[in-house]
Amino acid sequence: MTSVLDVAPVVPVVVLDDAADAVPLARALVAGGLPAIEVTLRTPAALDAIRAIAEEVPGAVVGAGTVITSRAVADAAAAGARFLVSPGWTDALLDAMASSGVPFLPGVSTASEVVGLLERGVHEMKFFPAEASGGTPYLTSLAGPLPQARFCPTGGITRASAGSYLKLPNVGCVGGTWMLPPDAVATRDWHRVETLAREASALRPRKA
């Protein structure tokens, strides 16, 4: 994997309360064409879910999201996470992620945060919360003065709005949850998840 931004046009953002659902859900996403899967560290089941996907779903590129501490970096890497995503960054967190040997996407929402990461040699980042922070107009404005930065916008993005982000030259992929309806996950309707994933995987447009 050269870059998580180039694996697929959409990275599903997964919150799991039951680690037993991790493998069938991941298999459905991979079958639908979305192999990069971000499992957020928001529940006690998250690390077990990452471990299960890493061990049992060969086609998956599983990562850990909501990584906000050095301990979380170490735990996620030990569980088999192949990329790390944070909602924001500090120097200490950035140092921990950089030292992990695992690709990472630190979160930004301002131009100053982007410049700070560029100074540290980081060119790929998460734009969060995307919609609340200005959406596509804001990212379009950043592309001029900061063309070195590439983003995975996440936060409030829907099936309807994803395409407009993916057309931007500084966007590699988007993160979202629309292919994981809560009722489908609750009823373990993996066929529906696979169908929605397949629709999402077809979203990547040609760049201008």
pLDDT at 42: 97
Helix or strand or coil: residue 154?
A: strand
Known catalytic residue: 38? yes
The catalytic position among 55, 124, 126, 194 is 126
Compute the average pLDDT of residues 29-38.
Answer: 98
pLDDT confidence of residue 2 = 77
Which of 41, 124, 123 shows the shortest CA–CA distance to 81?
41
Residue 189: is its pLDDT beyond 80? yes
Two tokens, residue 185: 């996950």
Per-residue model confidence (pLDDT) at position 206? 56
3-state DSSP of 77-94: HHHCCCCEECCCCCHHHH
What's the CA gap between 155 and 86, in Å, rounded? 12
**pLDDT tens for residues 118-171?**
999 999 999 999 999 999 999 999 999 999 999 999 999 999 999 999 999 999
* pLDDT, tens digit (0-9, with 9 covering 90-100), for 82-100: 999 999 999 999 999 999 9
Picking from 12, 33, 9, the residue whose alpha carbon sits closest to that of residue 185 is: 12
39-61 pLDDT, tens per residue? 999 999 999 999 999 999 999 99
Cα–Cα distance for residue pair 119/48, rounded to 1 Å: 35
Whether 17 contacts 43, CB under 8 Å: yes
**Order of all β-strands in the sheet with 84-85:** 104-105, 84-85, 61-65, 36-40, 10-14, 174-176
Half-sphere exposure of 53 (CA within 13 A, CB side): 35
Tell the residue number behind the tokens 């983003």, with chain if given: 151
Mean pLDDT of the chain: 96
pLDDT at 38: 98
DSSP for residue 52 = H
Catalytic residue check, 167:
no
Q: How far apart are CA 62 and CA 111, in angstroms?
A: 29
- Read off the pLDDT band of 207 (50, 70, 90): low
121, 18, 103, 122: which is closest to 61 by C-alpha? 103
Residue 91 is predicted with a pLDDT of 97
The angle formed by the CA atoms of residues 182, 88 and 93, to the nearest 5 degrees, is 115
Per the confidence metrics, is the pTM higher than 0.85? Answer: yes
